[in-house]
Amino acid sequence: MSIAADLTVEGVTLTAGARQLVRDVSLTASAGEVVGLVGPNGSGKSSLLRAVYRVLRPAAGTVRVDGADAWTLPTRQLARTVAAVVQDSAADFDLAVREVVAMGRTPHKRMLAGDTAEDAAVIDDALAAVDADRLADRPFDRLSGGERQRVLIARALAQQPTLLVLDEPTNHLDIRHQLDVLGVLRRLPATVLLALHDLNLAAYYCDRLHVLSEGGIVASGPPAEVLTPALLADVYGVVGEVSVHPRTGAPQVTFLPDGR
């Protein structure tokens, strides 16, 4: 079993009723890469991710994970390969953090099987990976936003996925926790596909970016190639400068709100 999967999205079109959310999008994420989806609100980032983690069925096109069509695999089998952290506020019924993370073991378990020592070890590792081992016995609904997000990532890790999909995992987090969460993702062996709002964070943490605008991909490549003043003007309608930060070496976007 591989540690990291290859993702190939080919010619995917997504619709909601008569409306086209995403049209004819193709993208790839190679094994072990961290690939970011950026673009304005409503550009189709979430929809595209939902097609990958198999909630929104494409009207056309294919989603392949290590060559296998994600939409023809049984749901349970796919869940052993692809895990997701979604934007879906959870109704919680007094679950402890550890129980939330244990959910991630479900696709690996027969229905009546108890949690084994191996499951316990996987859960511990997942909690440790996001630096949340101290939270294990806390009630999930009493956690702060950043703690919750880390626990949800741990739950996804407990699935032992080779592809991890995240929809704006840094939303509502303060900057400290944004860096923490993205740092965790950066260190994972699995392939990571995530939607991000913040272009500077995307530039620093992602190997490659795909820029979405009005349901189509307008640019793809390493952050330094993709993020240009022309793109900022075209896609976001803002004036900005892009420089290479002397310490991080990553592209740095500076917005000029009044057009300088």
Partner 1 sequence: MTGTATDTAARPGASAPPRRAGRTTMAGTSLVLVVLLVVSVTAGLAIGSVQVPPGQVWGIVTHAMGADFAEPDWSRARETIVLDVRAPRVLLGAVTGAGLAVVGTALQALVRNPLAEPYLLGVSSGASLGAVSVIVFGVAFLGPLSLSAAAFAGALGALVIVYATARTGGRITSTRLVLSGVAVAAVLTAVLDLLLLTTDRGNEARAVLAWTLGGLGGVNWQTLWLPGVAVLTGIGVLLVQARNLNLLLAGEEAATTMGLDVARFRARMFVLLSLVTGVLVAASGPIGFVGLILPHVVRLFVGGDHRRVLPTAALAGAVFLVWADIAARTVAAPLEIPVGVLTALCGGPFFLWLMRRDARRGTDRGVA
How far apart, in whole angstroms, are the C-alpha atoms of residue 231 and residue 110? Answer: 49
**For residues 33 and 191, is the Cβ–Cβ distance under 8 A?**
yes
For partner 1, which is the closer residue by CB, 24 or 124? 124
CA dihedral for 131, 186, 102, 124, sign (positive or negative): negative
Shortest gap between Cβ of 144 and partner 1 (angstroms)?
Answer: 14
For partner 1, which is the closer residue by CB, 77 or 248? 77
Q: Could you tell me how far CA 217 lies from the centroid of its own chain?
A: 17
Shortest gap between Cβ of 120 and partner 1 (angstroms)?
Answer: 5
- What residues contact 41, with CB distance under 8 A and at least 6 apart? none
Shortest gap between Cβ of 35 and partner 1 (angstroms)?
Answer: 18
E strand intervals along the chain: 7-16, 19-29, 34-38, 60-65, 68-69, 82-85, 163-167, 191-195, 208-213, 216-221, 240-244, 251-255
Shortest gap between Cβ of 182 and partner 1 (angstroms)?
Answer: 20
Shortest gap between Cβ of 218 and partner 1 (angstroms)?
Answer: 27
**For residues 212 and 49, is the Cβ–Cβ distance under 8 A?**
no
SS3 at position 165: strand
How far apart, in whole angstroms, are the C-alpha atoms of residue 27 and residue 234? Answer: 20
Backbone angles phi, psi at 138, to 5 degrees: -80, 150
β-strand pairing of 251-255 with 19-29: unpaired
For partner 1, which is the closer residue by CB, 151 or 209? 151
**90, HSE (Cβ side, Cα atoms, 13 Å):** 16
Shortest gap between Cβ of 179 and partner 1 (angstroms)?
Answer: 22
E strand intervals along 180-233: 191-195, 208-213, 216-221
Q: What are the tokens at 26?
A: 């193709």
Shortest gap between Cβ of 170 and partner 1 (angstroms)?
Answer: 18
For partner 1, which is the closer residue by CB, 52 or 212? 52
**Interacting residue ranges for partner 1, rule: CB under 8 A:** 50, 53-55, 75-80, 82-84, 86, 88-96, 98-100, 102-104, 106-107, 109, 111-112, 115, 117, 119-121, 123-124, 127-128, 133-134, 136-139, 141, 155-156, 159, 165
